[in-house]
A and B are shown apart, each in its own frame.
Chain A
Amino acid sequence: MTTTAIAPAAGATEPRPGRGLSARLHGAAGALRRSPRMLVGLIILLFFVLLAVFGPLFIHNPNALGTEVLGRPSAKYWLGTTQEGQNVLYQVIAATGPTLEVGFVAGGISTVLSLLIGVGGAFIGGISDEALNLFTNVILVIPVMPLVIVISAYVQAKSLLPTIIIIAFTGWAGTARVLRALALSMRSRDYILAARVSGERPWRIVVVELLPNMTAFIVSGFIFTVIFAILTQAGLAFLGLGNTNLLSWGNMLYWAQADQALTSGAWWWFAPPGLCIALLGTGLSLVNFGLDEVLNPRLRSVRPVGGRTKARRQAAGSP
């Protein structure tokens, strides 16, 4: 039962429900084969995670001032230097960790919130569900960025933690709505009813029966929130809200803008951090598209001309 949500249309390669780890890995590998998008996305993600973990071992102090000011990319400085002669490459690498940290921690907290509010509401039902759903929809239409900017201006964060909390508490609504709809439709499925009749406790039904079948959607919602968190943090850091000495990609862009990197033509200063944000975001979105394709076989692109037989075989495999 646990793998069905991840690979519902796996056809012949679909592992039977509840066959343990190896079957699950097999299913995941099949999903990857069927979705090159997801593979590319995971590779990008892995690259940045490795960069965040091992990158700092290979670099010197990213804030060390150098003598070469606004130097173009060269053999010594691969990505050039800043106004203060700092090594842009070192800064990009050192900023990877904090950026990922904000994304994943805020995304994680946010996902837990959306589970509590979305799935919790759907499972309790009745008036509290109506109220929670209304609350979710209200939060959803209130524009987040101005809210986050105003709160950040008031709080005046010294570390990343306030930023993480602010983002987590503003980013949960979209996922909560999706998960609620899903939980509502699952609540009346036969196996849940069977579990109820057999007297399983509610929390056990949610944790053991419901959540495992929502895994793919929860992961998808999590990834969505991680992208949201990374973009929001980049925006805040770019505005100089929070501690301007905390290195992150957004923060690098703040200094580049503040020190007139644009008008002095120092593209090597402002291009890399933005590219990294966009690339990481692309990687995460690709993983999400991959999940989407696996969940909804109709979305898979048919292989264009030349791949006719493959396309037909695929069409035959999907409903």
Chain B
Amino acid sequence: MRYFTRKVGFYVLALWGAVTLNFFLPRFIPGNPVEVLLARMTESGNPPPGEYKVLSSVLGIGGGNLLDQYWHYLRQLSRLNLGVSITEFPTPVTHILAQTLPWTIVLVGTATVIAFLIGTTLGALAGWRRSRFLNNLLPVTTFLTATPYFWLALVFLYIFGVVLHYLPLNGGYDPTLDIGWSSSFIVSALQHSVLPGATIVLAQLGGWMLSMRNMTLTTLSEDYVWAAEAKGIRPRRVLLGYAARNAILPSVTGFAISLGFVVSGSIIMEIVFSYPGIGYTLLQAVQNDDYALMQGIFLVICLVVLGANFLVDMLYGFIDPRTRQAR
């Protein structure tokens, strides 16, 4: 139980850190961002009454001293009021987030799980067999890992979209269709997700594969593996039941760091495909000086990443009983 309370405590603290960081970010803006925002809003229509107050609270730069501002900011947050967006004036920021977030979560989530499964399996095999083929694959996967996601996306788009015309060039679905659970829409969404998904999988594969290979190699020379082999247990069982089970643990703990990388890569990758997710929206917010939307997106990405890591940590406590007993 100690493990779980520690973890919950940590993530609550991390969340508070993210929220507070978000509070301080707008202080980098030269001048008064609220004025800038309101001026831009009046260009596209009349901002809702009281928007000045909301905006200054949301951006954490209203009246009063720092503590007052912080308090107002937290109060607006707790009411889920993140202000209105300029990009899609006058839609509330929360509304835009609710629309775009599912696209990213489904795409990045599925691709990450697939990459993890394939990469770990290949890595375990590469470590187990020390096979020439799989180990020769390592430089290739290294190259892919060092490749920026968005460039890989550009290349895929060029080959499969522009030259071969196999797959759609951009977007997340055929815009002539209505969003819903109809089969034609799902097929269209799947087609549009093949290239972005493949980009994420390929770019991640190498990292998972390498760490699993290295851990398998390290675990294989442990005494208990030798003992298992000496007892004459079948190699398959030694690999799955003795070596891989333990070798996979660092990959699970490494999830936090890699998820940060994946999200970072994916949000730029989305822009190449004009995928209707949160990364594409972030670029639009940046281009339109839409500070409220930018803040909202940063916050929600933090929230999702922290949430995913929390789940993985819980899972880790479940699969590795040692963590539950530790200190």
B286 within 8 A of partner (CB): yes
Contacts of B158 in A (CB 8 A): 262, 265, 267, 270
Docked pose: A277 CA to B305 CA in angstroms: 27
- Verify B272–A154 contact, CB threshold 8 A: no
Q: How far does the Cβ of A169 sit from chain B's closest Cβ, in whole Å?
A: 12
Docked pose: A218 CA to B135 CA in angstroms: 27
Knowing A145-B263, A154-B28, A274-B154 touch, does A239 contact B271 (C-beta < 8 A)? yes
A194 within 8 A of partner (CB): no
Docked pose: A289 CA to B222 CA in angstroms: 22
Q: Mark A160-198, 1 if CB is under 8 A from B, else 0.
A: 000000000000001000000000000000000000000
Contacts of A241 in B (CB 8 A): 286
A141 within 8 A of partner (CB): yes
Docked pose: A263 CA to B301 CA in angstroms: 31
A217 within 8 A of partner (CB): no
- Verify B301–A146 contact, CB threshold 8 A: yes
Contacts of A150 in B (CB 8 A): 25, 286, 294-295, 298
- Verify B135–A301 contact, CB threshold 8 A: yes
Q: Please pick, from A140, A227, A277, A281, the residue contacting B260 in the complex, using a CB distance under 8 A.
A: A140
Contacts of A280 in B (CB 8 A): 146
CB within 8 Å of B: which of A234-265?
Answer: 234-235, 238-241, 250, 253, 256-257, 262-263, 265
Docked pose: A239 CA to B284 CA in angstroms: 10
Q: How far does the Cβ of A109 sit from chain B's closest Cβ, in whole Å?
A: 19
Contacts of A149 in B (CB 8 A): 267, 282, 286
A49 within 8 A of partner (CB): no
Knowing A144-B260, A145-B267, A277-B151 touch, does A154 contact B26 (C-beta < 8 A)? yes
Contacts of A106 in B (CB 8 A): none
Q: How far does the Cβ of A210 sit from chain B's closest Cβ, in whole Å?
A: 25
Contacts of A257 in B (CB 8 A): 154, 272
Contacts of B210 in A (CB 8 A): 289
Knowing A142-B14, A267-B158 touch, does A274 contact B264 (C-beta < 8 A)? no
Q: Please pick, from B155, B282, B306, the residue contacting A274 in the complex, using a CB distance under 8 A.
A: B155
B283 within 8 A of partner (CB): yes
A64 within 8 A of partner (CB): no
CB within 8 Å of A: which of B151-177?
Answer: 151-152, 154-155, 157-158, 162-163, 169
Q: How far does the Cβ of B249 sit from chain A's closest Cβ, in whole Å?
A: 16
- Verify A284–B264 contact, CB threshold 8 A: no
- Verify B217–A298 contact, CB threshold 8 A: yes
Docked pose: A134 CA to B17 CA in angstroms: 11
Knowing A150-B25, A151-B28, A285-B142 touch, does A144 contact B221 (C-beta < 8 A)? no
Q: How far does the Cβ of B246 sit from chain A's closest Cβ, in whole Å?
A: 14
A43 within 8 A of partner (CB): no
- Verify A299–B146 contact, CB threshold 8 A: no
Contacts of A277 in B (CB 8 A): 146-148, 151
Q: How far does the Cβ of B283 sit from chain A's closest Cβ, in whole Å?
A: 6
B1 within 8 A of partner (CB): no
Contacts of A63 in B (CB 8 A): none
Q: Mark B228-260, 1 if CB is under 8 A from A, else 0.
A: 000000000000000000000000000011011
A199 within 8 A of partner (CB): no
Docked pose: A45 CA to B252 CA in angstroms: 32
Knowing A147-B298, A234-B148 touch, does A142 contact B305 (C-beta < 8 A)? yes
Docked pose: A284 CA to B265 CA in angstroms: 19
Docked pose: A280 CA to B145 CA in angstroms: 12
Known A154-B26, A265-B163, A282-B146; further 16 A-B contacts with Cβ < 8 A: A134-B10, A137-B14, A138-B13, A139-B17, A140-B260, A142-B17, A145-B264, A145-B267, A235-B148, A235-B268, A238-B268, A239-B271, A262-B157, A274-B154, A278-B147, A301-B135
- 30 CB-based A-B contacts, threshold 8 Å: A137-B10, A138-B13, A140-B260, A141-B256, A141-B260, A141-B306, A143-B263, A143-B264, A145-B267, A147-B21, A150-B298, A231-B148, A238-B150, A238-B268, A239-B268, A240-B287, A262-B162, A265-B162, A270-B154, A270-B158, A271-B155, A277-B147, A278-B143, A278-B148, A278-B151, A280-B146, A289-B142, A298-B218, A299-B214, A304-B130
Chain B positions within 8 Å of A, measured between CB atoms, are: 10, 13-14, 17-18, 21, 25-26, 28-30, 130, 132, 135, 139, 142-148, 150-152, 154-155, 157-158, 162-163, 169, 210, 214, 217-218, 221, 256-257, 259-260, 263-265, 267-268, 271-272, 282-283, 286-287, 289, 291, 294-295, 297-298, 301-302, 305-306, 309
